[in-house]
Amino acid sequence: MPDPGAPASKMTARRLAVRYDGKLALKTVDLDIPAGRVTALIGPSGCGKSTFLRCLNRMNDTIVGARVEGEVTLDGEPLYGPGAIDPVLLRSRVGMVFQKPNPFPKSIYDNVAFGPRLMRRVAEGEEMDALVQSSLEQAGLWAEVKDRLDAKGTGLSGGQQQRLCIARAIAVGPEVILMDEPCSALDPIATAKVEELIDSLRDRFTIVIVTHSMQQAARVSQVTAFFHLGTIVEVGATEQLFTAPVHELTQGYITGRFG
Ligand SMILES: Nc1ncnc2c1ncn2[C@@H]1O[C@H](COP(=O)(O)OP(=O)(O)OP(=O)(O)O)[C@@H](O)[C@H]1O
């Protein structure tokens, strides 16, 4: 029987398959992504985690030779095929934060204002100032940069740059934030800050994170999906998956026997 307390699915994937130059990288994956939760995607290198993540905001469209089959929905609306959401609108609803912090070579302020300006979301001046401030506050960076908003974003530390990229993603008002190994280029202190931030954001956003660190998945996520050779072997509540995995392959991976 369905659990009445379970959150609704914000996004769903059905029979999702991806080929690169004809070679199958993701094989008929089904996954429900619950609203207002952090979903972690784990698994050995090359198992298809990033490929899956990129399907959730059509980033695979930008890769020559990539072909996506199957269905993905956002609040029930299709991302692919007839009646699909416009990809530009989709990327404002489903934002992305990459492995390596990639601020634009612009001021801290202009980094955050970039998306809202492009989409003509808010007027310049007070309204934009307020949006920049609130985005930086939500990303836990405001206190550190409020006196130097004109300084280059690229001059910040790695951890600050990654939080700036999160502020930039937040500024366009997304509903879902995808993160592809967002801490892999950061030191442990910067990592801890970003992890705290992820936890604080899940009230307002649905988050999907690819991580190589099982400790990180256990710390930040409520749901974990274990990928292996292009398929999902097991998905469930994070605590359950790490303490009592059902599948032998999951057990092998989380105990470090392979991967
Ligand atoms: N742009 C691309 N062109 C061709 N093949 C690709 C491309 N991106 C990924 N692949 C292949 O698709 C498969 C899945 O890769 P993907 O990067 O999604 O895995 P991953 O689990 O995220 O790996 P990692 O943990 O190492 O980042 C791999 O065999 C990879 O070589």
Q: ipTM of this predicted complex?
A: 0.97
**Residue 256 binned pLDDT confidence (cut-offs 50, 70, 90):** confident
CB-ligand 1 contact for 228 (6 Å cutoff):
no
CB-ligand 1 contact for 140 (6 Å cutoff):
no
On whether the CB atoms of residues 165 and 103 are closer than 8 A, the answer is: yes
SS3 (DSSP) at 26: strand
Q: Whose CA is nearest to atom 31 of ligand 1?
A: 46
CB-ligand 1 contact for 50 (6 Å cutoff):
yes
Atom of ligand 1 nearest to the CA of 181: 27
Q: Find the 46 Cα to ligand 1 centroid distance in Å.
A: 5
**Is it the case that residue 6 has pLDDT exceeding 80?**
no
Task: Over range 163-190, report the average pLDDT.
Answer: 94
Atom of ligand 1 nearest to the CA of 51: 18
d(CA 76, CA 86): 14
Q: Find the 83 Cα to ligand 1 centroid distance in Å.
A: 29
**Is it the case that residue 32 has pLDDT exceeding 80?**
yes
Q: Whose CA is nearest to atom 25 of ligand 1?
A: 45
Q: Whose CA is nearest to atom 8 of ligand 1?
A: 51
Compare 224 and 88 and report the one with higher pLDDT. Answer: 224
Residue 66: what residue type? A
**R_g over Cα of the chain:** 18
Residue 81: what residue type? G
Task: Over range 152-175, report the average pLDDT.
Answer: 95
- Residue 67 structure tokens: 């072909």
Q: Whose CA is nearest to atom 12 of ligand 1?
A: 25
* % of residues, the chain, pLDDT over 90: 90
**Is it the case that residue 4 has pLDDT exceeding 90?**
no
**Residue 5 binned pLDDT confidence (cut-offs 50, 70, 90):** low
Q: Find the 51 Cα to ligand 1 centroid distance in Å.
A: 6
Q: Find the 50 Cα to ligand 1 centroid distance in Å.
A: 7
CB-ligand 1 contact for 47 (6 Å cutoff):
yes
CB-ligand 1 contact for 98 (6 Å cutoff):
no
CB-ligand 1 contact for 111 (6 Å cutoff):
no
Query: Mean of the per-residue pLDDT values for the chain?
Result: 94
Task: Over range 127-140, report the average pLDDT.
Answer: 95
pLDDT confidence of residue 2 = 55
pLDDT confidence of residue 119 = 86
pLDDT confidence of residue 7 = 77
Q: Within 13 Å of residue 93, how many CA atoms lie on the same side as its CB?
A: 16
Task: Over range 204-222, report the average pLDDT.
Answer: 96
**Residue 3 binned pLDDT confidence (cut-offs 50, 70, 90):** low
d(CA 211, CA 43): 8
Atom of ligand 1 nearest to the CA of 230: 14
CB-ligand 1 contact for 49 (6 Å cutoff):
yes
- Residue 247 structure tokens: 């599948």
**Is it the case that residue 54 has pLDDT exceeding 80?**
yes
On whether the CB atoms of residues 114 and 106 are closer than 8 A, the answer is: yes
**Is it the case that residue 1 has pLDDT exceeding 60?**
no
- Residue 146 structure tokens: 């409020």
pLDDT confidence of residue 203 = 86
